């Protein structure tokens, strides 16, 4: 994959390398595929201009429309939990800036991403196209209902906090597929992985986290947003 380059990108390259070693590897990310890809995807190209200098800070950043781009470590942990090997098709709920989608796109065959705010979906499309990333398809809608047209998915990643795992997403998982999702209240959640097995759904706790709320029919009420 080719990412656009300018001479002024050199300092971002150094910051990205530091992020991989000082944040991701140091805090226990072990997947060499995830570490390699996050060492190449230019996070600075996905954050709003005014926050660009902080693109590689060890925290989430505010983005347009009161949303946020997750901390690099959280992106790495969620991506690693999907255990992607290459041929998978993945559904993302909450496109936001498109950064998580760009990371996934380098690790699997196709990414389908649903965003409820049309302006964010449009900006993400532009940013992904600018990076030459062609295997991400974005739609505007309520991602708590999944995206049935392209189901089943080998992996589903929800980048907003939910009251529970939405049933439509569990239904749209392929056999052996995994749903990675923050579940809890509106303020704090537990990152969970649900794996669809022949004998039922296996649930694992990964770590405590804080995401913006997942709003929709199988999430939090939009009226209280």
Residues labelled as active-site residues: 70
- CB nearer ligand SAH, residue 12 or residue 112: 112
97 binds ligand SAH (CB under 6 A): yes
Among 70, 123, 131, 189, binds ligand SAH (CB under 6 A): 70
**Smaller CB separation from ligand SAH, 31 or 113:** 113
- Answer for which of 35, 57, 117, 206 binds ligand SAH (CB under 6 A) is 117
Give exposure, 182-192, as e/b (b: 16+ Cβ within 10 Å): bbbeeeebebb
Question: If binding is defined by CB under 6 A, does position 80 make contact with ligand SAH?
Answer: no
Residue 81: partners with Cβ closer than 8 Å, 6 or more residues away: 178, 180, 191, 193, 206
Q: Which stretch binds ligand SAH (CB under 6 A): 5-13, 130-138, 141-149, 168-176?
A: 141-149
- Should residue 125 be labelled a site residue for ligand SAH when binding is judged by CB under 6 A? no
Q: Does 68 bind ligand SAH (CB under 6 A)?
A: yes
CA distances from 225 to 114, 146, 214, 219, 222 (A): 18, 20, 10, 11, 5
* 77 prior amide bond cis, ω within 30: no
Question: Is residue 215 near ligand SAH by the rule CB under 6 A?
Answer: yes
User: Is 116 among the residues that bind ligand SAH (CB under 6 A)?
Assistant: yes
Return the DSSP state at 71.
Answer: P
Task: Pick the binder of ligand SAH from 42, 72, 143, 184 (CB under 6 A).
Answer: 143
* Residue 76: Cβ within 10 Å count: 26
Q: If we measure between CA atoms, which residue out of 72, 172, 83, 158 comes closest to residue 113?
A: 158
Interface with ligand SAH (CB under 6 A): 67-70, 93-94, 96-97, 99-100, 114-117, 120, 142-144, 159-160, 212, 214-216, 219
């Amino acid at each position: 994959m080719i990412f656009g380059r300018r001479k002024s990108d050199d300092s971002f390259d150094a910051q990205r390398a530091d992020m991989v070693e000082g944040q991701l590897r140091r805090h226990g990310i072990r997947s060499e595929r995830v570490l390699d890809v996050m060492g190449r995807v230019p996070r600075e190209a996905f954050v709003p201009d005014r926050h660009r200098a902080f693109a590689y800070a060890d925290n989430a950043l505010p983005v347009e429309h009161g949303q946020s781009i997750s901390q690099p470590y959280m992106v790495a942990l969620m991506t690693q939990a999907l255990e992607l090997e290459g041929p998978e098709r993945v559904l993302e709920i909450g496109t936001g800036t498109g950064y998580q989608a760009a990371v996934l796109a380098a690790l699997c065959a196709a990414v389908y991403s649903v965003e409820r705010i049309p302006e964010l979906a449009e900006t993400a499309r532009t940013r992904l196209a600018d990076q030459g990333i062609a295997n991400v398809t974005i739609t505007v809608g309520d991602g708590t209902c999944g995206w049935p047209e392209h189901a089943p998915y080998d992996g589903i990643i929800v980048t907003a906090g939910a009251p529970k795992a939405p049933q439509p997403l569990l239904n749209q998982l392929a056999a052996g597929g995994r749903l990675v999702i923050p579940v809890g209240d509106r303020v704090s959640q537990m990152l969970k992985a649900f794996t669809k097995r022949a004998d039922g759904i296996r649930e694992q706790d990964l770590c405590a986290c804080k995401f913006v709320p997942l709003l929709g029919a199988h999430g939090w009420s939009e009226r209280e947003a």
